[in-house]
Amino acid sequence: MLLHIPNVLTQEQVRGMRTALDQALDAGSWVDGRASVGDQGAKVKHNRQLPEHSPLAQQLGAVILDALKKTPLFFSAALPLRFLPPMFNRYEGGEHYGMHVDGSVRYAPNAAFPGGLALRTDLSCTLFLCEPEDYDGGELIVADTYGEHEVKLPAGDLILYPSSSLHRVAPVTRGARVCSFFWLQSMIREDSKRALLFELDQNIQKLRARLGDCEETVSLTGNYHNLVRLWAEV
């Protein structure tokens, strides 16, 4: 399921993040994006990113995760269990990222687990921090059984998609594309089951808005939660 989630960040939050990220760029704090990928990814990845353990990345990442807690559409679609700390990347001057698939397991910092806490990457997220008209190219292109889907969203909006998808970032030929990206492990491992639960939850919310909490909507809500109980891994 590929889902556009609007207005995760306010325009004020976006401006604040861009100011801080641009200052870090001027200070020479950004590094080669290949620092966070394996050998296969390094062959096709050409961008820059903020070091993932830098205080600024941690500070801005906390703002993003707090904003997601206040975004019901995101939680309905993702049913998140664990997050990896958000990272930040930048493409300009022809930089791009060739077709690749995200690693199935990554490690989140955790003092109780030497080397980090293992996290299965079920869903990938890209949060745009610049407007589409600020740059040419730079589309996130996600491939699935229905073909390739180009994504280029307004600043503050997020795209959520299965981490199992092949995807790439087209070359940026004008301006700069600045985004946050991160992964999460869902309580529901299978994308098809998450999609069914998301559709059921959205329809229940629409019915409740129209009919209130009648016998039928209460029963459907029970069905939803029983399916989550059946399928969830927590």
32 annotated as a binding-site residue: no
Answer whether 188's CB lies under 8 Å from 181's CB. Answer: no
**pLDDT for residue 2 is more than 90:** yes
Dig out the tokens for 155 from the structure.
């600043």
pLDDT (0 to 100) of residue 82:
94
Of 141, 126, 125, 130, residue with least CA distance to 176: 130
The span from the CA of 5 to the CA of 206, in Å, is 18
The span from the CA of 186 to the CA of 168, in Å, is 23
What is the mean pLDDT of the segment spanning 77-87?
A: 96
DSSP for 49-70, please give it. E--TTSHHHHHHHHHHHHHHHT
102 annotated as a binding-site residue: yes
Output 152 or 41, whichever has higher pLDDT.
152
The span from the CA of 107 to the CA of 85, in Å, is 10
Q: Mean pLDDT of all residues in the chain?
A: 95
Answer whether 135's CB lies under 8 Å from 47's CB. Answer: no
**pLDDT for residue 40 is more than 80:** yes
**pLDDT for residue 126 is more than 70:** yes
**pLDDT for residue 21 is more than 90:** yes
The span from the CA of 107 to the CA of 203, in Å, is 35
The per-residue pLDDT for range 148-200, each reduced to its tens digit, is 999 999 999 999 999 999 999 999 999 999 999 999 999 999 999 999 999 99
CA 22 to chain centre: 21
- pLDDT band at 45, cuts 50/70/90? very high
pLDDT (0 to 100) of residue 23:
97
142 φ, ψ (degrees, to nearest 5)? -110, 130
- pLDDT band at 111, cuts 50/70/90? low
What is the mean pLDDT of the segment spanning 3-14?
A: 98
The per-residue pLDDT for range 143-153, each reduced to its tens digit, is 988 899 999 99
What's the pTM? 0.95
> Could you tell me what percent of the chain has a pLDDT over 90?
88
The span from the CA of 102 to the CA of 162, in Å, is 10
100 annotated as a binding-site residue: yes
The span from the CA of 184 to the CA of 186, in Å, is 6
pLDDT (0 to 100) of residue 145:
86
Could you give the 3-state DSSP secondary structure of residue 171?
coil
Of 10, 3, 8, residue with least CA distance to 70: 8
26 annotated as a binding-site residue: no
